[in-house]
Structure formats: structure tokens, C-alpha cells
Chain A
Amino acid sequence: MDMKKLMTGAVVGGIVMMGLGYLIWEVLFANYFSAWDSGNDMIWWSAAAGSVVLAMLLTMWLDKSGAKAWMDAAKSGAILGFTLWLGLNLLFNAWDGGANLMLHLTDSVLEAVRWGITGAAIAMVSGSKAATSDH
């Protein structure tokens, strides 16, 4: 796939993912997920790097699935986000002695929302870039 498109998706998607992550887990559902609060300060560079890598994966997924319109990308992103985090959360639940299965399942649903919105954002930027380069 086109490297410029991949990098644009990674940066834009990474920023949207970080922003939504803060809104969902640190503001809207902070009390619900308080059991996961380590009490330490967050390492921002690490969270940002992780978000950019996952946004790159989402950009590649959207390219492979052929989802170009923002609505298709939102659906495709939500499916990827939910499936990916359901798998990961089940693994965390299996290993973590203090795990709460309901928290892990709720987290997977919220990830579907986050990845859906991020997918739509990536499609919008990719679409406008494609339109710009066409003219």
C-alpha cells in the first residue's frame, strides 16, 4: 500500500485514538474502570506510540477490506476493534489474578466505538487526500 497513505492514517488515526481513549476511559467511564487505575502517572510517549502503531494496523485493514466511504470504514473499524480487543481482553482475563470479566467485556464494546470512529476519521482523511491528488 501507498506509504504516504499509511503514514497519514497512522498519524491521524493515532491522534483520534488517543483523544477518544482519554475521553472514554479517563473521563466518561473513569469510575467504572477505576479498578484498573494503577495510581501512577501515565507514560504519554508510550501510550502515543502504541496508538500510532494500532492506527497503522487499522489503516492497513481498511485498505485490505476496500472500505473507502466513512460509513463503511466505521463499520469495518468497529468490527476489527471489537474482535481484536475481545481476543486480547479474554487473554488478559486468563492471566490476570485480579481480573474482572465484565470489565474486560465492556472494554471490548467501548473499543468497537473507538475503532469505528477512528476508522471513519482515517477514511475521511484518505478520501480527501485522494480527491486532492486527483485534481
Chain B
Amino acid sequence: MKRILTGTLVGGIAMLAAGYVIWDVLFLDFYQANPGAAENLWRDAPVWWAVALGTLTLAALVTAVIEKCDDLNVVSGFKWGGLMGFMIWLGVNMILHGYSNFNSLTIALVDPLLEFVRTGIGGAAIAAVLARTAGTTSSVH
């Protein structure tokens, strides 16, 4: 449980930071240029406690998967985290595009690629911290 909590916290912080750089700095203009049909969808300012809690919950899922990896290192963490981020957001974005005016098809397809990078970075951070913990405890594996 301590490993899951540690991975969740470290991964969550890494994902929040990477998410800010990707969506609020680097790709902000791209997202604003390709909106969904829904009007007034976005809040003027996000509810940060919900962003943090949601990101930590997703980081817990990534930690649960990476924790079971035999080869625990930064590269495998990036691959598993990236794969999970890509699949989760491709699936969710396509469903949202199918049911709602939340996103355009362009965003639904590009967003999972950016999530691959973001969740990959989170996965790498999680693997790094779990590998360190594995080296300092005797109860692992």
C-alpha cells in the first residue's frame, strides 16, 4: 500500500506538471482553434482540487499496473504509462465525440497522442520511485 501511495503521489504531481506545460502552455492555441460544438463549455478557471484529485486517481491506476511490471525502470514506466494514457483517452475521447458536443474529431485524435507523452512522463516518474523503494525494502517481489 505504501508503494501504491508513493507512486500515486509522485506520478500525480508529474502528470499535473506535464499536463500544465502541454495543455495550458504549448497546445493552448491548438485546442482553442479546434473547439467542440458545445458553447460556454469551459470554466474561466478550472476547479483545481478536482483537477488534482482526478489526476491522482488516474496516477493510482498507472501505479497499480507499473507496480506489477517485472522490469521496473524509467523506460518501461514511460512505455506502460504512455500506453495507458493513450488507450484511456482515445477510448474516452471517441465516446465523448460520439455522444456529445464536447470535442471535435481533430481534438479527439490528437489529444491521446499528447496523453501518451503526459502519462508516459508520469509512468517514468512512478517507475523511478518504485525502483528506489524496491532497492530499500526487502518485502518487494
On A, residues with C-beta under 8 Å from B are 36, 38, 40, 42-54, 56-57, 61, 64-65, 80, 83-84, 86-91, 93-98
Contacts and interface: CB of A to CB of B under 8 A. Distances in A.
B91 A42 contact: no
Interface of B: 37-38, 40-44, 46-48, 50-51, 53-58, 60-61, 65, 68, 84, 87-88, 90-101, 105, 108
Contacts, number: 115
B101 A38 contact: yes
Nearest to A66: B68
Contacts of B87: 53-54, 56-57
Contacts of A43: 97-99
Nearest to A51: B95
* Chain B contact residues, majority secondary structure: helix
Contact of B98 (A44, A91, A93, A94): A44
A76 to B, nearest CB: 10
Given A53-B87, A64-B65, A87-B61, A94 B94 contact: no
B42 A95 contact: yes
Given A50-B93, A56-B87, A61-B65, A94 B99 contact: no
Contacts of A86: 54, 57
Nearest to A97: B43
A116 B108 CA distance: 26
A69 to B, nearest CB: 19
Given A38-B99, A57-B88, A57-B91, A98 B40 contact: yes
13 contacts: A36-B100, A43-B99, A46-B95, A46-B97, A47-B94, A49-B94, A50-B94, A56-B87, A64-B68, A87-B58, A90-B57, A91-B54, A98-B41
Given A87-B55, A90-B50, A51 B42 contact: no
A54 B101 contact: no
For the complex of A and B, 6 pairs with smallest distance between CB atoms: A47-B98, A50-B94, A90-B54, A87-B57, A50-B95, A46-B98
